[in-house]
Structures are given as C-alpha cells and as structure tokens.
Amino acid sequence: MTSKLDQLKTFTTVVADTGDLDAISHLKPVDATTNPSLLLKAALLPRYTEQLNRAKHLAQTDLNQACDRFAVAVGQEVLKLVPGVISTEVDARLSFHTQATLTRAQRLVDLYTATGVDPKRVLIKIAATWEGIRAAEQLERLGIRTNLTLVFSFAQAAACADAGVYLISPFVGRIYDWYKKHENRDYQGSEDPGVCSVTRIYDYYKAHQYSTVVMGASFRNLSQIEALAGCDRLTISPDLLQQLAQAQGELKRQLIPGQASEPNINLDEPKFRWAMNEDPMATEKLAEGIRLFAQDQVKLERLLLS
C-alpha cells in the first residue's frame, strides 16, 4: 500500500510550510509558503548565505527593501523546486493599513517579476483583518493573487470569499491550542475545533460555489491532517510531511463537495467587526498571530542590520 502522503496527494494539493530547500526537494510538494518566522529560520541556513549578505548590504540604506528582497530571494530558490506557487507575506505591521499593504504587495510582485518569476506563481500573504481583506480585494482586481492568512473565524472566511480572494489559510492548530487551553480537554479527529472550522468553511464555499481555495494550515498532529483529507490544499511542516510519508494504512477522503451548508451571508464592516467581537478565540488568535509575525519581522531586520 502507498504511504498516507501519497494517498493524500490524490485528492488534496500538498504544500510545504517551509523555506528549507532540502526538505522541499525530498518531500516534493506542489506549492510552498513562507512567513517571517520561516524566513528567519531560512536566514540561518548556510545555503542562503549569499542572499543574506546581499540583503545585509542593502539594509544599510533601505531596511524595508532589504527584507522584501530577502523574502523574494528565498521564494525564488523555492520556486526552482516546486511546480506550483510560493506564498510571500506582507509585513504584519501593516495589517491594519489597506493602502500600505497594497503598496508593499505590489513591490513584492515587482521584485519577483524583475528576477524573471511569473507573477502567477506568487501569492501575496496578508493577515485577514478587515483592512487586509479590502487590500486583497483590490489586488485581485489588478490580477495579483492573494493568500489571506491567520483565518480563525467563519466571519473572516465569508468576508474573504465575498472579496474574491484567491486562497485562505485557516489555522487549524492554533484554534485547537486555544480550545484545549480554555476547555481543559484534548480533541481528536472530527471533534477537533480547528478541523470543525475548516470543514464548515469548505462546505460553505462549495455549497455557494465560491472559487476561493481553502488551505488548512498550522497542524499539530497527523489526526488533524487525516480528518481534513480532501480539503483543496493543506500546508504542512516538513516533520509532519515526513511522518505522513512513513505512515501506512488507508487514508479516506473526508471533505467532499456537495455537503449540506448554511445560507449565504454578506458582511459589511460593522457586521464583520461585531462577529469578530463575539468570537474571543478568533479575536485573541488573530491579534496574537499578527504580533508574533511582527516580532519575527523585527528579529529578521536586526539580523540584516548586524
């Protein structure tokens, strides 16, 4: 019998959540994604020494440009190994500024284009705040595809679909972490709150024929991945990808288009903000995620200035 990873690939696009070229080369995902935390790890890898040194030189005169160029340099190397796309993130500190997000996103695409990378192979990652969703809506109209990250609530997912974003990343593991801590219990398989969140979003999108791709992210264990087999895409860490590659046994598809779903909803800004206010998990985890990405961005900047 083939491995569970090979079985998963028959009905879900597998994405590597890493900038580690060795891991990508070995596990052969279709797409890859990075964020400030992963870029910080990549900066410490010997194979990125040349790119890091170039970014350090530029940082002396333009730190923001240096950070973007390093992110694009890492993405460029990753794209040599995957047939699909790379997700590159806008500075998390711009999460509440629509115009600044637009400007930074367009620069990232321009930098990729200047290196000969087809813009269609790039997804711009933006935190799914109201301001981020509005920026993504404008970028999509310009032909720049987006990946709305740090999705924790159904309200975020519904707003992203209405905005026409290309892809969303619901964070399964971080939702699980919050409920495990606050409910003082563990969860398995289909009862896992993170799994339930992605399943609800997937069923809603398919029932109402939204084209937005659902990419589950931030996994803690194989059980969560197996419970979401059939999701459009799953972005998985190298450790869990390796475990899947070694795991045997039948892997059944769990998410299938055509399941029952709730009525279509449309959220304006007040309704969106109220829905977020009523969801303490989503409010806390979105704020925390932005802070953590921003902290790693600052660490990367310090490294480039060292």
Average pLDDT, the chain: 95
pLDDT in tens, 251-306: 999 999 998 889 999 999 999 999 999 999 999 999 999 999 999 999 999 999 99
* Secondary structure class of 54 (helix, strand, coil): helix
Mean pLDDT of 60-64: 95
Q: Is 285 an annotated catalytic residue?
A: no
Choice between 160 and 20, residue whose per-residue pLDDT is larger:
160
pLDDT in tens, 113-153: 999 999 999 999 999 999 999 999 999 999 999 999 999 99
Mean pLDDT of 6-14: 95
- Cβ(227)–Cβ(189) below 8 Å: yes
Catalytic residue among 4, 9, 28, 125: 125
**Confidence bin at 26 (pLDDT 50/70/90):** confident
**Domain that residue 191 falls in:** 4-305
Domain count, the chain: 1
Predicted pLDDT of residue 1: 67
Predicted pLDDT of residue 187: 94
Q: Which of 156, 42, 48, 52 is nearest to 88 (CA)?
A: 42
Strands (E), the chain: 13-17, 31-33, 86-89, 122-127, 146-151, 167-170, 213-216, 233-236
Predicted pLDDT of residue 276: 98
Q: Which two tokens stand for residue 217?
A: 């992210």
- Cβ(131)–Cβ(98) below 8 Å: yes
CATH number of the domain within which 112 lies: 3.20.20.70
Exposure letters 42-59 (e unless 16+ CB within 10 A, then b): bbeeeebeebbeebbebb
